[in-house]
């Protein structure tokens, strides 16, 4: 059970790292190159589309498995495997899920309230591009580091 859960969590973390990596390396750069109103509208559409069963299953399902693995690591504490399990689980839960909820989601909610033709959009969009992307880099690194730790635990 623990091996299968660790494998699934490692794959989930790796998958999420890839999603975040894509946004950090080319999606946000592409959105920054188009007119502000179009970029805002495109990101608003992405933010609505991401709330779907597949994304939620991987994003939150991985968090649930990581929470389970962290508890297993604490109960069985004593080997390097448990250290990797706890580190990987904490990296994903804190560096990916918590960062998303505390930093990225509020920025998405703020962006959702602005019309693509709203004159305040330009200032908001420039700030959004830099801060949302910076926090996305954190999520990318955390999810990748979590995948590495969980892989090492195998």
* Helices within 50-120 (DSSP H only): 53-75, 80-92, 99, 105-112
Structure confidence by residue, pLDDT tens digits, 47-106:
999 999 999 999 999 999 999 999 999 999 999 999 999 999 999 999 999 999 999 999
What is this structure's pTM?
0.94
pLDDT band per the 50, 70, 90 thresholds, residue 25: very high
Structure confidence by residue, pLDDT tens digits, 112-144:
999 877 888 888 999 999 999 999 999 999 999
Report the C-alpha gap between 32 and 93 in whole angstroms: 29
Region 20-36 average pLDDT = 96
Copy the structure tokens of residue 99.
């960062």
Report the C-alpha gap between 41 and 44 in whole angstroms: 5
């Amino acid at each position: 059970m623990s091996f299968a859960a660790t494998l699934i969590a490692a794959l989930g973390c790796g998958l999420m790292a890839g999603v975040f990596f894509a946004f950090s390396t080319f999606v946000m750069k592409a959105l920054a190159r188009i007119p502000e109103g179009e970029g805002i509208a495109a990101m608003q559409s992405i933010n609505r589309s991401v709330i779907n069963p597949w994304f939620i299953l991987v994003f939150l399902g991985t968090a649930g498995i990581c929470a389970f693995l962290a508890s297993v690591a604490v109960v069985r504490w004593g080997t390097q495997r448990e250290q990797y399990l706890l580190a990987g689980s904490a990296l994903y839960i804190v560096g990916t899920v918590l960062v998303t909820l505390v930093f990225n989601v509020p920025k998405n909610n703020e962006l959702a309230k602005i019309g693509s033709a709203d004159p305040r959009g330009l200032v908001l969009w420039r700030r959004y591009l830099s801060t949302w992307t910076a926090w996305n880099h954190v999520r990318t690194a955390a999810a990748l580091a979590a995948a590495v730790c969980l892989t090492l635990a195998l």
